[in-house]
Every structure is written in C-alpha cells, then in structure tokens.
Structure 1
C-alpha cells in the first residue's frame, strides 16, 4: 500500500504565511481609507491628475487642502487634517511636499509632480527614504536625454549648459559624469544672477548644442526668449526641458506622459495603503517619456532630421 506524500512543515508554513498575506492585502485594498490631498496651488494639471487618481481609488474618501502657494497656511491646514485621522497624505508639487514632510512624521506621504527633489534639498537621493515619504519625481534620466539629443544631432560632441550652481549644481555635476561615460563633453556655464545670461550666450559658439535644466534663475521669460532667438540665429541645436519650449522654438525636448505619471502615483498609493512601508519604496521616475521635435527650427538652423529621429518623435511641430 502506497503512503500518501506528506507536506514538509516548512513548506506548509510558507504556504500558510503566503495565504495570510494575500488575505490581509486584499482586505486592506477592499477597505475604505481617508486620503488627505495637499496641493501647492490650484492648477489644471493637478486637478486632472487628481480626477484620474480618484478613478483608480474609487472606494476611498478624499479630503482636499490647498496651500494656494502660501506656506503660512500650513498650521491651519494641518490642524484640520489631524482631526480627520487620515490614512495617507497625497501631496502635489514641491511646496506641498516640503510642508507635508516637515509637519507629519508618522502618516505615510506619497508625493507627485515634484521636479528635481534632490537638487531642491527635499531628498538626499532617488532611493528609499527610510522615512514616511515616497512618491513620483518628474526627473528624466540624463542618459536618456543625452541619447535623444545625439539621435537628433548625430555630430553632437560638446554640450553646453547654462545654470545656477545654487539651484541646479547637483544636476549639472551628475550630467558631467553621465556625459563622460557617453564619451561626450559637458561645457558648464555658471551664472549667479539671471541678468548675466545674455552676455554668456557668446560662450555657446564653442558647443555643438545647448542642453536645458529646469533652472528658474536662468530661464526667466525674458532670458528664454533671448536663448531661443540666439540659438536660432547662430544655428545652435537647443534641447528644451519640455514640449512648450520646443513649440516656442527649441529644436527638441521631452514630453512627459501625464496619464502614466498619474497611474504610477495611484499605484504607489495602493501599495502603501495595502501595508507596504512607504520608506522602503524607492522614489519612482516617469515610466514613459516622449521625444518632441520642431521641424521648422531644424530647417532654420540647417539640420536635416533623420528618419530615426522622426520615427521616435511623438510630436513634430512644423
């Protein structure tokens, strides 16, 4: 008579733990949680994102707070927020995230629509924070930016960047290391005040292209106009930081897929509400980034666009 196979105790224990964890996770997901939404200010992009996130998290209750760009409102907001006994804080923008980080050390915080959190001092690195904070940063890998720039400008060897060391020095330092690995040369052009930009433009003539960081000291409305007109006049390929810059006259740039970012944010919220420690979750970056081209600019600066670049571009302005 054959003996029935016996399940080892260790395997049985593992199966029981797995089943228990799945049950607990499903119960957490099925529960209704209270989410406090903290916005830096009311912007259409935040409103659209919040609507999509709410669709992804239908069973949960949302309480919305707006700083209106004013940090002084934090005390009144958090006094009310704490009375609500929220399960999670969802912050939109840098100011809202800074306030949430300063005011709350226990309730999990998931941030989104934050650009350059390391350069701004919000985070020390784009890894697990080991605190109650995680989220989605809008940072695009520099390797990807330079690869796209070289795809559009095959002769690219020397890349200039105008920047304020106080605002984007960390980013430029990282970009220098990335450029070296890619056998490119980065030419940093530092400024201390936005008024210096027009006189620094002459230094671009020794470069094969200009790369833009999201530096508010450099890219004031007036300086942006100067830079675009100068690069068009001198035939210098300019890689802008967004689709808006390309539309305005930059040769190329990148466009974030906002629906994908919103979905990434919602998934992070789900993960935290299911019981995952927010401090153990690495900071996410955009999962999808599109190349944008300006064919009219390419014609003005006498740069033929390759079929490979045109094929990869999601948007081509003409």
Structure 2
C-alpha cells in the first residue's frame, strides 16, 4: 500500500513538472524565416544551397527558407528584404558585401566569402560582429602549399600579383611559409587593374608557376582575363582560386566542399534562430577541401596528375 502511494505521488510530481514546462515554453506566433541569397548559377553555389536546405530539413524547429538569386530577381533589394527575415544567409563575397551595405542592422550569416576582412565584410580579421558571422572561402596557406608541392614538386618560384592595401597580411604569410619550404614568392604590388599588363611582363621570365590570389584588384573581370590568357600563352601553370578558373585553363585549384560549407553556415543560422547573437558564433574556415584539376591543361604543360589527386580530386575541363 505504501509503495502504491509513493508511486502515485511520484507520478503526480512528474505530471505537474511536464505541465509546468509546457506552459512555460512560449509558442511562437510566426515561423522563423531565413532568407538565402546567392548571385548567379555557379555549381558551387547550388551545392551550398543543397547543404543548407538539407540541414534545415533535419533541424527540429519551425523554419521557413526562402531562396533567391539576386541576379534574376526582378524587384528591388528593399522589396527582397521587406519580409523582415530573422537571418539572411548570403552565399559569396559580392552578395555578402551588398547586403551588409544595404541592410547594416540585419543579422547575416555568410558562406563562401573570400577574405571577409579585406573585403570590408568584417571589422576585424577573423572576428564576428554584432550582426555578421559565417564560413569563409579561405583555405589555410599550409593546406594550399601541401597541395602545391603535391601537384608541382619541381616548381620553386611562385608568381603573384596583389594590391598591398587588400592582401598585405596574406602575402606576408604566404612568403614566410613558402620560404620555410624552400620556395620563393615573386610578388608585385599593383595599385589598380591598369597596372596588371606591365606587372605580368615584369615577372614573366622569373617564375615557374603563377598563383592567383583572392584580391579584389586582381579579380576584376579585365584583370582575370588578362592574367589567364597571358600565362596560358606562355605555357606557365596557373593555380586558380575556384573551379571556374580551372575550367578556363588553370592547372588546378584547392576547392572547398561547398555542400559541407553550406551545412556549416546553416548550423550557424540555427544558432542565431535559437537566440545566439552573430558575435557569439566564431568565424569558421571550411571543414573539407578537394583538388579540382584540368587534365587538358596538364597535358599541354606535360604535367602528370598524381594518382592520389585523381582518386580523391575532381577533373574538370572546358
């Protein structure tokens, strides 16, 4: 009899505890809305979107995801933002910069953004702000150099063009780490894209390979074309920064796994929805990488792609 009374008391306490929790938990009057913005139909962007949507489909809260491509959106940016999203998840550097400038008070999680400090997305190197955090597209230099020596073991002199106002820290670190491996960085600081042709001629006879860096001056449309055509004609291997450069004739690039990066960014968004501020969520580097290589370019340069790269990387061509 005493046992039954104790069991009854314990069951009642548990029931009261559950009821109390139910009444204490607020019921949201609206679903959490996440606006996902990209620009253009790049396959890497689409894979990032897949990672994002797959993550949110498994997340246990009420989330509504609205995906828009601003290159095809017919309305104004203010119309796009008029739904007052709880978080905007931006894919790519240009979209992230645009939204930061146009909606400075909006909570933003970015993914696949290059050099977010140099590109004025972040106020301090590697530090989130009150409104912005995310996953960079930047690959650790040691990782880059590991793949460089795997792909081009005979190359010793690396040519780079850069704007010192944007890429000073990156070039300094690249030079130091390359030197420690017996490699030399032959770099020229270009003030604007107008200086690119002259700078290319200055280093054309002094390098074994040209490395494209994620510098806004170098990545301007005219600069990109000039650089690619110049070195392809000279039969000098090019290290790109993304798969589209490899498709255009670069030998290879070290690429992030954009699906995985999308999942990382989605997890950060979930944190913001759950009450964390962007400033509380550290900036992350991509978790996974792969080598994307151009077999046709390798053939023209008489370069043999390592077996390990063939097994684990991705072949791409024009």
TM-score for both structures, normalised by structure 2? 0.73
1:260 alignment partner in structure 2 = 260
State the match for 2:9 in structure 1: none
For the residue of structure 2 that corresponds to 1:57, the secondary structure is: helix
Q: SS of the residue aligned with 2:275?
A: coil
Q: Could you list the per-position Cα deviations for residues 186-227 of structure 1 after superposition, in whole angstroms to 9, with x for gaps in the alignment?
A: 111122232332333231321221111133433455544443
Q: Show the counterpart of 2:177.
A: 178
Q: SS of the residue aligned with 2:205? A: helix
Cα deviations by residue, 1:102-124 (Å, 9 ceiling, x for unpaired): 6454x643222322201112224
**Do the aligned partners of residues 234 and 48 (structure 1) sit closer, same or farther apart at CA in structure 2, a change above 3 Å counting?**
closer
TM-score (norm. length: structure 1): 0.73
Q: Find the aligned partners of 1:76 and 1:317 in 2 and give their Cα distance.
A: 39
In structure 1, the partner of 2:189 is: 190
Inter-partner Cα distance in structure 1 for 2:30 and 2:121: 30
CA distance in 2, matches of 1:67, 1:226: 28
Cα 1:104–1:206 change in 2 (3 A) is closer
Q: Deviations over 1:255-311 (max 9, x none)?
A: 332211211111111223233342122112222221122233233223333434444
Could you tell me how far apart the structure 1 residues matched to 2:97 and 2:230 are?
37
Change (3 A) 1:76 1:296: closer
- Structure 1 gap ranges (5+): 1-22
How many angstroms apart in 2 are the aligned matches of 1:100 and 1:295?
Answer: 38
Which deviates the most, 214-223 or 283-292? 214-223
1:96–1:197 CA distance, 2 compared to 1 (3 A): closer
Is the 1:246–1:294 contact (alpha carbons within 8 Å) kept by the matching residues of 2? Answer: yes
Deviation at 1:62, TM superposition (A): 3.7
**How many residues of Structure 1 are paired with residues of Structure 2 in the alignment?**
287
Match of 1:109 in 2: 108
Q: Distance in 2 between matches of 1:110 and 1:68?
A: 20
Q: Which residue of 2 aligns with 1:149?
A: 148
CA contact (8 A) 1:126 1:282 kept: no
Q: Residue 317 and residue 47 in structure 1: after superposition, are their counterparts in 2 closer, same or farther (change >3 A)?
A: closer
- Where structure 2 has 5 or more consecutive residues not aligned to the other structure, the ranges are 1-20
Superposition deviation, residue 31 in structure 1: 9.9
CA distance in 2, matches of 1:150, 1:157: 9
Residue of structure 2 in register with 1:3 after alignment: none
Taking the TM superposition and a 5 Å limit, the aligned residue runs for 1:63-82 are 80-82=82-84
Written as runs of structure 1 = structure 2, the 5 A alignment for 1:158-307 is: 158-202=157-201, 203-221=203-221, 223-307=223-307
List per-residue Cα deviations over 1:3-62 (Å, max 9, x = no partner): xxxxxxxxxxxxxxxxxxxx99xx89x997422426365656656644652443243124
> 292-301 or 48-57: which moved more?
48-57
Find the aligned partners of 2:66 and 2:299 in 1 and give their Cα distance: 51
Find the partner of 1:61 among 60, 64, 68. 64
What SS does structure 1 have at the residue aligned with 2:154? coil
Output the CA distance in 1 between the equivalents of 2:52 and 2:190.
Answer: 40
Q: Which residue of 2 aligns with 1:11?
A: none
Deviates most, 113-122 or 178-187: 178-187
